[in-house]
Amino acid sequence: MRVLIIEDEEALAAAIARGLRLQGMAVDVALDGRGGLDKACLNDYDVVILDRNLPEMHGDEVCRRLAGSGSTARILMLTAAHGLRDRVAGLDLGADDYLGKPFAFDELVARVRALARRAGPPRPPILRRGEIELDPATRRASRDDCELELTNKEFGVLEVLLAANGGVVSSEELLEKVWDENTDPFSNVVRVTMMTLRRKLGEPQLIETLPGAGYRL
Amino acid sequence: MRRRASLRLRLTLSYGLLFFVVGFLLLALSYLLLRQVAVSNPGELATRTARHLHLPQTYLQQNMPSPSGGQQTVGAFMRQLQDQVLSELLRALFGTTFWALAIATLVSVVAGWWMARRMLRPVQEISAVARRLSASTLHERIALKGPKDELRELADTFDAMLVRLEAAFVAQREFVSNASHELRTPLAIMRTELDVTLADPETDADDLRHMAETIRAAIARSEDVIDKLLVLAESEDLAEHAAVDMARVVNRVAQQHARAADARGIRLRVAAQPSTVSGDDALLERLADNLVDNAVRYASPGSVIHVKVSLGPGDQVTLRVANEGDVISPDEVPRLFERFYRRGTSRSRRTGGSGLGLAIVAAVAEVHGGAASAEAPPEGGLVVTVTLPQSSAPTITRATIST
């Protein structure tokens, strides 16, 4: 799951990013509205956490442009102004959810996850395919009721493969969804992670490699 | 609702009563006049009629058989006839005109009732709008149409008041929303930092130290904002009128900032002429403090900040603080005095400004009857000038709430 935080308070942005990374999400940060919009247009995010009071470009404007750009990213507005009027205005601009500052971090995580579920085709809260079961909320994955010990990246890759529901996922897509912008796009992190994930999933092999196309579960 | 109906009723009744009284007086007058003609001058009409008909006196003296029996002269008969006709006329006049008056009065009451409604309709409109108005519908206006009369003037005055009220409300709402943003943001930072650090099972001493530092910075920021909001609230009204020497204030403030300036290689050059201002010592010190603090914060490292207190022009004391620094566009200059305005937010957040410093300067200057202005030299930096009335002629005005 890939998340963009557009927040001008560096300390807050850093704390949210750290917390979301602990939850295994790939997180990018932008400190002003224009830079945030650029990043959102450049990369394929599942969720954009958007502050309203932003320099360079107001959060409302970012929200309007993002919602109008046909991006599939879900927008969570995060702001200190959370009167009824502000919430209605925010949702009317195209935000998918609204959370007032200060907030409980668990709630933010739960909302981000709920929004990510709605990004792209609808998917259930617990992903299942064959003997494999994965619960993003509790961060547990199992095969045949046998708990799997996965790292954050392995978990992320498995989640994307399960969400594709039998479709082919390219390694670029995996890189986009599971790793953040600081990853070298030519590195072999996807291949390495896929190797360790396959080993942990055990026999018989469930993940197929389709040369030149990607992977399929 | 009842009160309006009662005004309408009162107006109608007044119309009706007035009409009746005037009509009655007119009728009574004509009755009395007619009567007087008949009574005070008996035979006058009969004599005139005889003259018009060319009846000679001899004819009038002739006897004729009376209709009631016996003999009487023609003249006497004519007079008798005249008296009878007159009294018949008067009776008829009294009876029928009374009814006519009654009916006309009734018509006037009905017309008055209708007229009163027409005249009072603008009042109804005004009160309907006034009743509907609340903080969220202050954009509504009466916009009364029709002739430029007293009621139209009332409605227009009311509309003008609404314009001012709405502006004050918008400014107030904006201020509250900005203030709540400024107060909530440090809270959000603390809460998130705590939540995330506590949720991480691998938190070590370094993480805890980092958390503590972040939280301390957030607390310092909250304190700063609360402190400045209090100063702003205090500077809405001037309680004290002491004689304050601005030169001493500025020297004191410059000393307090000397170390911070030194740390950035900045020199503070103060040129202060003794000049007395009447006002609040603490507020005036905050004014000077904010100006110097701002200058030190935004001055380019290694530059010189000029602080100058001088007398004039006129009966004024001028405080001028100039620093070198980034180029500021002239369009942006007036906005610097707005509450919570920051330049290129993320950058100045790093320098720790609350966006209230210059707003406080403007508010304090204004409450002392002075003014604050700024100019941005094309080569960069900022020059802020505050003028305050000299103590000999202190003119104290109240600061307005608007930003």
Please state the rounded mean pLDDT for residues B347-358: 65
Nearest residue in chain B measured CA to CA from A101:
B188
Q: How many Cβ atoms are within 10 Å of B326's Cβ, its own excluded? A: 14
Rg from Cα positions in chain A: 18
Bridging pattern class, strands B276-279 and B242-245: antiparallel
Residue A12 CA from chain centroid, whole number? 19
Bridging pattern class, strands B242-245 and B267-272: unpaired
CA-based diameter of chain B, in Å?
150
pLDDT band at B392 (very low <50, low <70, confident <90, very high): low
Residues of chain B with Cβ-Cβ distance to A27 below 8 Å are none
Domains and their CATH numbers in chain B: 2-132 (no CATH), 242-389 (3.30.565.10)
Q: Is B267 helix (H, G, I), strand (E, B) or coil?
A: strand
Cβ pair B184:A80 closer than 8 A: yes
Residue with the two structure tokens 């989640």: A159
Rg from Cα positions in chain B: 45
The token duo for B276 is: 């007395």
Q: Is B61 helix (H, G, I), strand (E, B) or coil?
A: helix
Cβ pair A11:B195 closer than 8 A: no
Distance (Å) from the alpha carbon of B297 to chain A's nearest alpha carbon: 19
Instruction: Find residue A142's DSSP bridge partners.
Output: A133, A147
Cβ pair A103:B188 closer than 8 A: yes
Cβ pair A10:B196 closer than 8 A: no
The token duo for B117 is: 């409604």
User: A–B: how many Cβ contacts below 8 A?
Assistant: 82
Residue with the two structure tokens 């999400």: A25
Q: Is B86 helix (H, G, I), strand (E, B) or coil?
A: helix
CA-nearest of B82, B83, B51 to B59 is B51
Instruction: Find residue A51's DSSP bridge partners.
Output: A78
pLDDT digits (tens, 9 = 90+) for A73-91: 899 998 877 677 778 887 8
pLDDT digits (tens, 9 = 90+) for A35-75: 999 998 888 888 999 988 888 888 888 988 888 887 888 99
Residues B228 and B142: their CA atoms lie apart, in Å, by: 40
pLDDT digits (tens, 9 = 90+) for B25-37: 998 898 888 777 7
Q: Is B160 helix (H, G, I), strand (E, B) or coil?
A: helix
Prediction pTM value? 0.62
Domain positions in chain A are 2-118, 127-216
pLDDT band at B394 (very low <50, low <70, confident <90, very high): very low
pLDDT at res. B19: 92
Nearest residue in chain A measured CA to CA from B350:
A10
Of A118-122, B90-94, B160-164, B398-402, where does mean pLDDT reach its minimum? Answer: B398-402
pLDDT band at B42 (very low <50, low <70, confident <90, very high): low
pLDDT band at A94 (very low <50, low <70, confident <90, very high): confident
Q: Do B169 and B135 contact (CB within 8 A), yes or no?
A: yes
pLDDT at res. A120: 65
Cβ pair B345:A54 closer than 8 A: yes
Selected residue of B192, B210, B340 to mutate for chain A interface (largest A Cβ count, 10 A): B192
The Cβ-side half-sphere exposure at A204, using a 13 Å CA radius, reads 4
Residue B199 has its nearest CB partner, among A19, A83, A102, at A19
Distance (Å) from the alpha carbon of B299 to chain A's nearest alpha carbon: 21
CA-nearest of B91, B84, B72 to B46 is B84
DSSP-derived letter for residue B309 is E
pLDDT at res. B193: 93
Is residue B3 over pLDDT 60?
A: no
pLDDT at res. A17: 94
Q: Which residues of B touch A (CB under 8 A)?
A: 177, 180-185, 187-193, 195-196, 199-200, 214, 217-218, 342, 344-346, 349-350
Residues of chain A with Cβ-Cβ distance to B217 below 8 Å are 11
Instruction: Find residue B371's DSSP bridge partners.
Output: B387
Residues of chain B with Cβ-Cβ distance to A12 below 8 Å are 185, 188-189, 192
Q: Which amino acid is at A127?
A: L
Domain A2-118, what architecture?
3-Layer(aba) Sandwich (3.40)
Residues A185 and A176: their CA atoms lie apart, in Å, by: 9
Residues B286 and B292: their CA atoms lie apart, in Å, by: 10
Q: Is B144 helix (H, G, I), strand (E, B) or coil?
A: coil
pLDDT band at B398 (very low <50, low <70, confident <90, very high): very low
pLDDT digits (tens, 9 = 90+) for B111-155: 999 998 888 888 888 888 888 887 777 788 888 887 888 888 888
Higher pLDDT residue, B385 or B130? B385
Selected residue of A23, A105, A106, A138 to mutate for chain B interface (largest B Cβ count, 10 A): A105
DSSP-derived letter for residue B135 is G
Q: What is the ipTM of this complex?
A: 0.70
The b-or-e profile of A50-66 (16+ CB within 10 A means b, else e) is: bbbbbbbbebbebbebb
Selected residue of A22, A99, A101 to mutate for chain B interface (largest B Cβ count, 10 A): A101
Cβ pair A104:B177 closer than 8 A: no
Cα(first)–Cα(last) distance of chain A, in Å?
Answer: 18
pLDDT at res. B46: 75
Is residue B4 over pLDDT 70?
A: no
Residues of chain A with Cβ-Cβ distance to B191 below 8 Å are 102-105
Q: How many residues does chain A have?
A: 217
Residues of chain B with Cβ-Cβ distance to A56 below 8 Å are 344
pLDDT at res. B344: 60
Residue A105 has its nearest CB partner, among B183, B199, B342, at B199
Helices A10-22 & B150-199 angle (0-180, nearest 10)? 50
Nearest residue in chain A measured CA to CA from B344:
A55
User: What percent of chain A is predicted at pLDDT more than 70?
Assistant: 97
Residues B277 and B231: their CA atoms lie apart, in Å, by: 19
Residues B16 and B12: their CA atoms lie apart, in Å, by: 6
Q: Do B271 and B306 contact (CB within 8 A), yes or no?
A: yes
By CB atoms closer than 10 A (0-12, 13-18, 19+), residue B111 is middle
User: What percent of chain B is predicted at pLDDT more than 70?
Assistant: 92
Please list the alpha-helical segments (H only) found in B133-204. Answer: 150-199
Please state the rounded mean pLDDT for residues B255-260: 91
Residues A40 and A50: their CA atoms lie apart, in Å, by: 11
Q: Do B202 and A20 contact (CB within 8 A), yes or no?
A: no
Residue A22 has its nearest CB partner, among B188, B192, B199, at B199
Mean pLDDT of chain A: 85
Residues B176 and B168: their CA atoms lie apart, in Å, by: 12
Selected residue of B180, B189, B350, B354 to mutate for chain A interface (largest A Cβ count, 10 A): B189
pLDDT at res. B393: 43
Nearest residue in chain B measured CA to CA from A106:
B195
The Cβ-side half-sphere exposure at B380, using a 13 Å CA radius, reads 9
The b-or-e profile of B173-209 (16+ CB within 10 A means b, else e) is: eebebbbbbbebbbbbbbbbbebbbeeeeeeeeeeee
pLDDT digits (tens, 9 = 90+) for B274-333: 999 998 888 999 999 999 998 998 889 989 999 999 987 888 999 999 999 888 888 888
pLDDT band at A217 (very low <50, low <70, confident <90, very high): confident
Q: What is the fold, at CATH topology level, of the domain defined by A127-216?
A: Arc Repressor Mutant, subunit A (1.10.10)
Residues of chain A with Cβ-Cβ distance to B192 below 8 Å are 12, 15-16, 19, 102-103, 105
Q: Which residues of A touch B (CB under 8 A)?
A: 8-12, 15-16, 18-19, 22, 31-32, 53-56, 79-81, 83, 86, 100-106
